Amino acid sequence: MSEEEEAIIEAEEVIRCQRVFVNQLDSYGGRNIGKYLSTCVIGASLEEVAEEEEEEDESRSIGELSPAKPKEGLYQIVGTVSQAESEKPDFAQEIYITPSRDELLSRIAECDVIIYNITEDESQIAEAIWAATALHEEMKQFEKQKVFILLSTIMTWARSKPLDPDDPEIPFTEEDYRRRKPHSNFMEHINAEKVILKLGKTNKNKFSTYVVASGVQYGQEERILHYFFKLSWLGETPAIPFFGDGKNFVPTIHILDLAAVLQNIADHRPRVHYLVAVDDSIQTLSEIVKCISRNLGPGKTQKVPKENAFLSKDLTQLQLDELLVNLRMEAVFLKENFNIKWEAQSGLVESIEQVVAEYKQSRGLLPVKICILGPPGVGKTSIAEKLCKHYKLHHIKIKDVIAKAIENLEKILAPKEIESPEMEEEEEEEEEGEEEDGDNLEEIQELLDAVKENMEQNGGRLDDSYVIKFMKEMLTSMPCKNQGYVLDGFPKSYDQAKDLFNLEEEEEEDDMKGKIHHYDKMIIPDHIVFLNASDDFLKNRIMNLPEIVVAGTHYAQDRYLRALSIFREINVEDETILNYFDELEIHPQHIDVSKFEDVENRFIVKEIIKDVGNPRNYGLTDEEKEELERNQAEERLRKEAQEKAELERKEAEERAQKLANWEDWNKRLEEVKRQEQELLEAQSIPLRNYLMKHVMPTLMQGLNVCCMVRPDDPVDFLAEYLFKNNPEFD
């Protein structure tokens, strides 16, 4: 084997097995970077470059050493975690929980690429400097080159003076890094950058260092921008706030694009050691927030003074500093030299649909869409209310939808009121909105008049065409798209379902019955619940309702019987509402209400929840958590008080029982003693008689004689006297 072939095999081994250390794998950056790199083939970003070089120089001799082709090996990810209770991520080979400095150094020394992210946790700055310094001291022992990458932030450029005072729009690039001036709160970051770059200049073949100045990171579950995403998704505020005038330019980069930059550094080992990682966008803070609000929230934004921004408990000081930065940056080196498959090269605004989809998926914020069907009086509304409360969904009832739609139409046609100066949208958008409203005012007025006329002619009811229109608008509204809904008793028929859920373009094409329709996946319910019961059961239930509940409603006897009859007639044909969903493979959950003896329908709700699954939202709010904790504390105290009272009652009963038992025992003991005394006395009478008659006289005489004689041994004298004077010898 030639030396060239051995060199190629050795290079391939290096490519095939590379271990990457990433700090804090349970943080936003560490988790996404580690997960991305764990799926990357080692050297994959070199493939395109290698192919171009081969095309340019086809005359290269076979014996000449060519670049090693990447093998099908993936990066092995190891790293630390910030929380001791964090579990090992699926993508990580190993995690190190609170290791000592010596242990951590030995683990890092086993890695080929070391990535330290200091953009999220300031405490990692000192650790990153220590790790790089310790590796630098040990580099003579390295068998192959180690790469240390410090992931820093563009906040180390925040106070940089414009390259040209007359033209402030000229962006900064990597070449200007020596002129950078940091934000006052990021002095430690720039000091770390300088130390890391200096350590990499000694022996680059053994230990090479890089600094990546990252733009504001977004994507996946979000980090800083999560504040705006969450407010928008919840839909609890009429406008999403942004801080200051919102005209500051914020350099950004998608977290996966940032991970791709790190992958390229690990593969390429570029000659430039300070890199800027930002996308191609030039976006202001107000444009970013406006875009999020439009695609996930109410569509409006609100200016908030900078002073008020610092009162937010959801954003740290450093995060606010990043949002308020005003920089124009351009990552020239990345675009010209790296092979990056961009997720969002043009920025967040241009890729907002993809980013919103990522966010919902990563956070598990998927809408829960339920449709509850069944005959009138079966309990649809009460069950829908409980499901809405449990899942935090929107209760969709026909009557409310129609009333809301009419109210919105009247509101549009009403004279415009002067809005508060604090509640503002962009001027350009306001003008566009006013023009659109002006063009549509006549159509809106015609629609409103037609709806009111139709309701007057039909005794307060509205034709299906209008109901379907208003219902579609409701189901496609942002709240329903975000959280989901519970449809209460609608649609009622096959045709209503087809008109509501089918895509409009198919309504003309598909005239064949039983054909699977192309439905609108955005609004179609995921779960169908069909509640049913016998007519007798339903009639008895309605008859037992209080008169105050029945009066003036569709539960009145004549109206209810007619409604029940119509429902049964509709659902005996071939094309029932359930047939429509069966054709779409959305099979209903059938529940016989008469089998559950529960007025409040708690067991039925549990059955539905078991089928639907867990809620898909943020969980409890802080206020709800406090209330839940307070209720749990009160319940715990109540139980403890009950247990204590029960324990005291049992102890009192036991004491009383013991006292009664003690008295009874004493009485029995006294009786036993008395009986024993009587028995002893009875048994002692013959003995006393015998002693008095045969023993005591002789004994008394002996004692008298002994007293008179006073012998030296009175006992022996008394024994001899008794022996001599024994009556048996007389």
552 pLDDT above the threshold of 70? no
d(CA 114, CA 333): 22
User: Is 85 contained in some domain?
Assistant: yes
Q: What domain range is 653 assigned to?
A: 622-729
Asked if 531 and 607 sit in the same domain, the reply is yes
CB 128 within 8 A of CB 188: no
d(CA 16, CA 448): 69
Give the 3-state secondary structure of residue 169: coil
Average pLDDT over the chain, rounded to an integer: 84
Asked if 225 and 316 sit in the same domain, the reply is yes
**Domain-terminating residue out of 362, 392, 426:** 362
61 pLDDT above the threshold of 70? no
Who has greater pLDDT, 216 or 447?
216
d(CA 497, CA 519): 10
Q: What is the pLDDT of residues 170-210, one digit of tens each?
A: 999 989 989 999 999 999 999 999 999 999 988 888 999 99
593 pLDDT above the threshold of 80? yes
pLDDT-based confidence at residue 70 (cuts at 50, 70, 90)? very low
pLDDT at 508: 46
pLDDT-based confidence at residue 721 (cuts at 50, 70, 90)? confident
Lowest mean pLDDT among 248-252, 427-431, 590-594, 609-613: 427-431
Give the 3-state secondary structure of residue 71: coil
Asked if 132 and 239 sit in the same domain, the reply is yes
Asked if 404 and 550 sit in the same domain, the reply is yes
User: Is 332 contained in some domain?
Assistant: yes
Asked if 549 and 698 sit in the same domain, the reply is no
Asked if 26 and 74 sit in the same domain, the reply is yes
pLDDT-based confidence at residue 73 (cuts at 50, 70, 90)? confident
Report the number of distinct structural domains present in the chain: 3
Place of tokens 């050297």: 43
User: Is 581 contained in some domain?
Assistant: yes
pLDDT at 65: 33
Asked if 341 and 192 sit in the same domain, the reply is yes
pLDDT at 626: 73
**Domain-terminating residue out of 559, 588, 612:** 612
Asked if 231 and 342 sit in the same domain, the reply is yes
d(CA 318, CA 155): 9
Q: How far is CA 296 from CA 220, 225, 669, in A?
A: 15, 13, 87
Give the 3-state secondary structure of residue 651: helix
pLDDT at 627: 75
636 pLDDT above the threshold of 90? no
Alpha helices in 458-515 (DSSP H): 464-475, 478-482, 494-501, 504-509
Bridge-partner residues for 396, per DSSP? 487
Instruction: State residue 222 phi and psi, 5-degree precision.
Output: 70, 160
User: Is 340 contained in some domain?
Assistant: yes
Who has greater pLDDT, 415 or 666?
666
CATH number, position 560:
3.40.50.300
Q: What is the pLDDT of residues 339-372, one digit of tens each?
A: 999 999 999 999 999 999 999 999 999 999 999 9
**Domain-terminating residue out of 362, 384, 412:** 362
d(CA 277, CA 210): 12
CB 529 within 8 A of CB 378: no
CB 203 within 8 A of CB 240: no
CATH number, position 688:
1.20.890.10
State the average pLDDT over residues 122-134. Answer: 94
Asked if 544 and 654 sit in the same domain, the reply is no
pLDDT-based confidence at residue 127 (cuts at 50, 70, 90)? very high
CATH number, position 158:
3.40.50.720
68 pLDDT above the threshold of 90? no
User: Is 617 contained in some domain?
Assistant: no
State the average pLDDT over residues 131-154. Answer: 93
Asked if 600 and 667 sit in the same domain, the reply is no
State the average pLDDT over residues 371-384. Answer: 91
Q: What is the pLDDT of residues 385-444, one digit of tens each?
A: 999 999 999 999 999 999 999 988 888 887 765 445 544 444 445 444 444 555 578 888
Asked if 172 and 296 sit in the same domain, the reply is yes
pTM of the model: 0.77
Asked if 590 and 677 sit in the same domain, the reply is no
